[in-house]
Amino acid sequence: MAILAHQRNGQGEPLVVMHGLFGSADNWRGLARRWSDEYGVWSLDLRNHGRSFHCEGMNYTSQAEDLLYWLDNENLERVHLLGHSMGGKLAMEFALRYPSRVAKLIVADIAPVRYEHTHAAIIQGLKALKAQEPWHERREADHLLAEYVKDVQTRLFLLTNLVRTDEGLCLRVAIEEIARDYQAIIDAPPAMTENRVFEGATLAIRGGRSDYVTEGHLPEFRRAFPQLQLETLDAGHWLHAEQADAFSEAVLRFLKQA
């Protein structure tokens, strides 16, 4: 079985961090360095992302098995688990299926529910980039992507997936595999349908200007995670980037609670 790629910072109690859709461990370098003063921080590249392996299937049960295999390979028996967006759904799936392996759970701006299809333009744009690689200039790739994705900040984030190879700039995210099983990504974590419960300490951090975690989502959240604590930051969906200081402090406060 293939092993997830990761980056490691610091020593101490292990904190495992998981990115969202189209992200990578690279997105968490700044926060990982902050937390590494007190924790051993392991930032993962999930399947079909970053430096990790490409394979069929994006369902959370399979991704939870990836994580379990990685933990066993690294001899990490029990960890604090943090996930943003898609990574947050994976964190919830894992905590519900393997509760003995999770000390504390932190979920960033995502709820354990099904969402609507909102990434069609991004998927089309990334497929267009893939079809014309290798690229020699990042600005040329950005010009093409702008035909599909108008928001500049979103494009800058997506273009972090263009990496230098011997041939030129190539897309490292496995867009075909992701597109093929996109429905599994927007679905609720499968363990939610099995009425599983994680009794451990759980923190949900949401963006006050994001609609990913609404008041209507909270009853379902609390059903599966009865020890849920909720923090709201003045931010959108990318709260860990927009409010890095506040996000970092919220995580540390929670981890240090008795």
Radius of gyration of the chain (CA): 18
Count the neighbouring beta carbons within 10 Å of the beta carbon of residue 36.
Answer: 16
- Of the candidates 43, 85, 119, 210, the residue annotated as catalytic is 85
- In a 13 Å sphere around the CA of 73, the CA atoms on its Cβ side amount to 12
Annotation marks residue 237 as catalytic:
yes
Is residue 2 classed as helix, strand or coil in its secondary structure?
Answer: coil
Measure the CA–CA gap between 87 and 108, rounded to whole angstroms: 9
Residue type, 133: E
User: ∠ CA 132-136-141 to the nearest 5 degrees?
Assistant: 55
Is residue 257 classed as helix, strand or coil in its secondary structure?
Answer: coil
Residue 173 has which token pair?
Answer: 């995210």
Active site residues per annotation: 85, 237
